[in-house]
C-alpha cells in the first residue's frame, strides 16, 4: 500500500513540515532509511540519524527542534512512538486474514464456532467449547473441553488451552504457550513422598490480554487464576496457580510469579523478576530486572530493584558502596593492623 504525507498526517492528526504529497510504501528504522520509507524518531540518542536518513517521511515529537538541515518530510505529532505504533497496527490490520475450517481440523459435535472464524490444520476444539466470532485458531492448537473464547481472539500455532478456561474478547496468545496446566500443588507425606493435590479450578483471561510465546499459566487449585483486562505478558513467563494480575500490568520475559500472589493494576515488571507466593503488590508498582520479592508492597507507585528488592533510591546509594567494597576492605585491614600495633606499644 502507498500513502502520501498528507494522508498519514490526517490519520495521526499531525503537522507536516515538507512535501505533503511525498509518498511512502514501506516502514523502516531511521538508521536504515530508504526512498519511499517512513521512519520515526522518539529517542534522542538516535537524533543524529535524522540528518542523514534516506527515509522520505519521519515522524517526530512536536517538541523536536532540528539542529541542522533535514532532507526528509517531517510529520510532527504529540508522541512519535505512539503514532508509529498506530501506523504499524493499521498496516497489520490491512493484511489479508485467513478464514474457513481446514479439513484436517477436529471440532467436536458439541462445540460451537462463531461467524468468520479460521480453524487451521490439525487444530482440535473440544466438547462444549465456544469459539467467538472472527477468531483465528492456527495449526496444531489444542483447546480443551468447555473452554470459551470471546470474539476476535488470535490463538497462534502450537498453543494448548486446557479444559474449562475462559478467554475474553480480543485476546492474543502466541506460539507454544500453555494455559490451564495443573498448578504446582503437592502435599508432603510422612514417608517423604508427595501426594498430588487435584487442581480443580481454571484460568480466566479478561478482554484484550496478550500472552507471549512459551508462557505457562497454571490453573487454580480452586476458583480461578485471573489475568485482568489489558495485561501484556512477554515470552517465557510462569504464572502460578490462583495468581491474580491486575488490569494493564506488563511483565518482561522470564518473570516468575508464585502461587496465590495478587498483583495490582498498572504495574511494570522487568525481566527475570521473581515473586514469592501469597503476597500482595500494590497498584502502579515498578520492579526492576532480576529483582526478587519475598514480601508484599503496600504503598502504590513504589519502585524497587535488587534481590531481595529494596527501594530504588536506597539501591542506587547501596550500589556505590558495593563498587567500593574492595577498597573499603583494604582500609579496614590496614586499620586493624594499626590497632594491633598500638595495642602492643
331-345 per-position pLDDT tens digit: 988 998 889 888 887
pLDDT score for 313? 85
* Residue 15 pLDDT class (50, 70, 90 cuts): very high
89-121 per-position pLDDT tens digit: 888 887 888 999 999 999 999 999 999 999 999
Q: Which residues contact 14 (CB under 8 A, 6 or more apart)?
A: 8, 59, 75, 76, 77, 83
Q: Which residues share a beta bridge with 41?
A: 60
Q: Considering only CA atoms, which of 1, 15, 13, 36 is closest in space to residue 83?
A: 13
Q: Which residues are catalytic?
A: 241
Residue pair 235/253 in contact by the 8 Å Cβ criterion: yes
pLDDT score for 317? 83
This prediction's pTM = 0.87
189-240 per-position pLDDT tens digit: 877 899 999 999 999 999 999 999 999 999 999 999 999 999 999 999 999 9
Q: How many residues comprise the chain?
A: 345
211-220 per-position pLDDT tens digit: 999 999 999 9
Report all structural domains of the chain as residue ranges with CATH numbers, in order of start: 3-93 (3.40.1390.10), 100-311 (2.160.10.10)
Q: Report CA 116 to chain centroid distance, whole Å.
A: 28
Q: What is the DSSP string of 104-152?
A: T-EE-TT-EE-TT-EE-TT-EE-TT-EE-TT-EE-TT-EE-TT-EE-TT
Separation CA 304–CA 117 (nearest Å)? 44
Amino acid at each position: 500500500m502507498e500513502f502520501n504525507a498528507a494522508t498519514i498526517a490526517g490519520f495521526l492528526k499531525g503537522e507536516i513540515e515538507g512535501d505533503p504529497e511525498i509518498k511512502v510504501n514501506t516502514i523502516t528504522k531511521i538508521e536504515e532509511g530508504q526512498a519511499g520509507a517512513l521512519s520515526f524518531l522518539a529517542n534522542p540518542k538516535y537524533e543524529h540519524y535524522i540528518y542523514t536518513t534516506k527515509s522520505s517521511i519521519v515522524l517526530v515529537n512536536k517538541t523536536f527542534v532540528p539542529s541542522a538541515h533535514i532532507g526528509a518530510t517531517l510529520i510532527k505529532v504529540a508522541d512519535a512512538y505512539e503514532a508509529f505504533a498506530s501506523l504499524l497496527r493499521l498496516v497489520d490490520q490491512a493484511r489479508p486474514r485467513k478464514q474457513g475450517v481446514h479439513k484436517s481440523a477436529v471440532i467436536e459435535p458439541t462445540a460451537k464456532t462463531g461467524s468468520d472464524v479460521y480453524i487451521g490444520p490439525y487444530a482440535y476444539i473440544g466438547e462444549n467449547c465456544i469459539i467467538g466470532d472472527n477468531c483465528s485458531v492456527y495449526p496444531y492448537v489444542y483447546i480443551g473441553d468447555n473452554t470459551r473464547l470471546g470474539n476476535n481472539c488470535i490463538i497462534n500455532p502450537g498453543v494448548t488451552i486446557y479444559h474449562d478456561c475462559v478467554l475474553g474478547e480480543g485476546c492474543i496468545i502466541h506460539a507454544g504457550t500453555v494455559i490451564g496446566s495443573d498448578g504446582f500443588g503437592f502435599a508432603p507425606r510422612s514417608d517423604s513422598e508427595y501426594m498430588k493435590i487435584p487442581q480443580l479450578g481454571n484460568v480466566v483471561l479478561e478482554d484484550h490480554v496478550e500472552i507471549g510465546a512459551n508462557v505457562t499459566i497454571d490453573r487454580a487449585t480452586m476458583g480461578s487464576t485471573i489475568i485482568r483486562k489489558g495485561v501484556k505478558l512477554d515470552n517465557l513467563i510462569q504464572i502460578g496457580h490462583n495468581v491474580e494480575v491486575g488490569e494493564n500490568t506488563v511483565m518482561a520475559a522470564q518473570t516468575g510469579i508464585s502461587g496465590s500472589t495478587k498483583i495490582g493494576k498498572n504495574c511494570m515488571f522487568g525481566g527475570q523478576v521473581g515473586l514469592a507466593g501469597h503476597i500482595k503488590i500494590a497498584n502502579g508498582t515498578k520492579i526492576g530486572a532480576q529483582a526478587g520479592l519475598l514480601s508484599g508492597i503496600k504503598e502504590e507507585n513504589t519502585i524497587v530493584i535488587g534481590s531481595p528488592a529494596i527501594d530504588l533510591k536506597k539501591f542506587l546509594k547501596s550500589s556505590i558502596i558495593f563498587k567500593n567494597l574492595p577498597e573499603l576492605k583494604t582500609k579496614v585491614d590496614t586499620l586493624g593492623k594499626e590497632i594491633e600495633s598500638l595495642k602492643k606499644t
